[in-house]
Structure 1
Amino acid sequence: MNETNTAGPAAAKRARVRNRRGEGGRLREEIISAAAALLDETGDEKAITLRSVARKVGIAAPSIYPHFPDQPAIMLAVVQREFAALDACLRTAVRDAGDDPRGRLYALCHAYLGYAQSHPERYRTMFGGLWIPTLGDSSLTEEDLVNLGATAMRLLADVLTDCVSAGQSAITDPEQDAVALWVALHGLAHQHAATRIFPWPGERIADTLIERIARLRDA
């Protein structure tokens, strides 16, 4: 993707101070942060171009190429960083919930829903698939995409397994049921974001989903 830098005098005044040698990693992180900020501001992955990101950082568009070959590579980095943030959020919730497996499961699921509500544009990009170009049309490969979210799913399966081991869940396939529970949580998060007129059956809908899919019971 070739884009010429058309920044005028106003942009030049806020030009970024050039990194010293060895600080290229900092510029890479600034590019990712700028793309994430544009996503929050516009809610539109198409608004994130090499030119708009460069303008946000205060650099010329060609300065991006040593760090990212194209726009999809920038979006991949944004999504990877958000999945890492989601994973950290979920692990903190599980850790803070204490020793009770069922309590940890509730904490993880509610933390997931809270993350989706707090970061709606980023969440939509993470799970909506709108930013993913056709493989072969960009620098992205299938390997770049298949493991996105894998650590969070692994954590959910592990917490479900702990519930089974403690006699608090009657499920027999934690791996499969982790996927089922995530699909339910994702659907709930999506509908909360997409519509305000859905006839929600009370405030306990999330707990109802957790209890039924995880087949929770008293130990």
Structure 2
Amino acid sequence: MDTAASTDRRPRGRNRRGQGERLREDIIEAATRLLDELGDDQALSMRAVAREVGSAATSVYLHFADRDALVLAVLNRCHDQLTQAVDDAEAASDDPVAQLRARTLVLGEWAYQHPGLYKVLHESSLNRRTDMPFKQQLADRTTAAVQRCMDAGLAPADEAATVALDLRAAVHGAVSMRLHQPGHPWPPLEDQIARFLTKLIGIRS
């Protein structure tokens, strides 16, 4: 018997004062890892999450009423991390085009690096059953980035929301094709995004 593994997964005792929030964080982190491996929210079980954190399933239900609530907490966390990553990337330049390129590349690379979470975020049945307002927040921020390029005269004036939607659809399509056809000799994502900015936004290369 693997003593180390047994020790790692031994049941938790009663939480000390202030440790309940730590358990909640552990649950979200465990569910994030499992969802990224599974790529399907329906395949996630609360018992599997409990085993991952070394706790009883009842402890998971104390923090999350059901699986949907837990998955939404994971996706909200992903949104927060993505937003921070995008902000950091945009902060590296004052040029609106460089900022748009940087944020688009961050979003594309995140999806490519976390295929399971990407599928849950965009392809799961949860999308049809639950509102995810944070997805609109990311969309609005992309629209604002496109608008800044237009306002600066670096892209032709147009309906920014429509142009941003075209860009997002193109990037998601590029990422999805990579995930579903990993053996294809795809060009670098950065090169594709540069072409999207030229052809869809009207930015000169």
User: Could you say which residue in structure 1 is the equivalent of 2:60?
Assistant: 64
CA distance in 2, matches of 1:85, 1:210: 24
Instruction: Choose from 107, 116, 134 the match for 1:148.
Output: 134
2:165 paired with 1:213 = no
Instruction: Choose from 111, 123, 146 the match for 2:106.
Output: 111
Change (3 A) 1:111 1:33: same
CA distance in 2, matches of 1:133, 1:206: 26
User: Could you say which residue in structure 2 is the equivalent of 1:121?
Assistant: 116
CA distance in 1, matches of 2:145, 2:127: 34
Change (3 A) 1:55 1:201: closer
In the alignment, residue 103 of structure 1 is paired with which amino acid?
A: A
User: Could you say which residue in structure 1 is the equivalent of 2:164?
Assistant: 178
TM-score of the two chains, using structure 1 as the length reference: 0.81
Q: SS where residue 193 of structure 2 aligns?
A: helix
User: Could you say which residue in structure 1 is the equivalent of 2:148?
Assistant: 162
Q: CA deviation at 1:64?
A: 1.6
Q: CA deviation at 1:172?
A: 1.2
TM-score of the two chains, using structure 2 as the length reference: 0.86
CA distance in 1, matches of 2:101, 2:9: 50
Contact 1:54 1:61 (8 Å CA) reproduced: yes
* Structure 1 runs not aligned, ≥5 long: 1-9, 136-141
What are the residue-to-residue correspondences of 1:1-219 with 2, within 5 Å? 10=6, 14-96=10-92, 98-130=93-125, 132=126, 135=129, 142=130, 145-196=131-182, 198=184, 200=186, 204-217=191-204
Q: CA deviation at 1:207?
A: 1.2
Number of equivalenced pairs: 199
Contact 2:143 2:164 (8 Å CA) reproduced: yes
Q: Can you list the C-alpha shifts for 1:28-61, whole angstroms capped at 9, x where unaligned?
A: 1111111111123344433321111111111111
Q: CA deviation at 1:102?
A: 0.9
CA RMSD of aligned residues (A): 2.4
* Structure 2 runs not aligned, ≥5 long: 1-5
User: Could you say which residue in structure 2 is the equivalent of 1:139?
Assistant: none
CA distance in 2, matches of 1:175, 1:147: 17
CA distance in 1, matches of 2:48, 2:144: 41
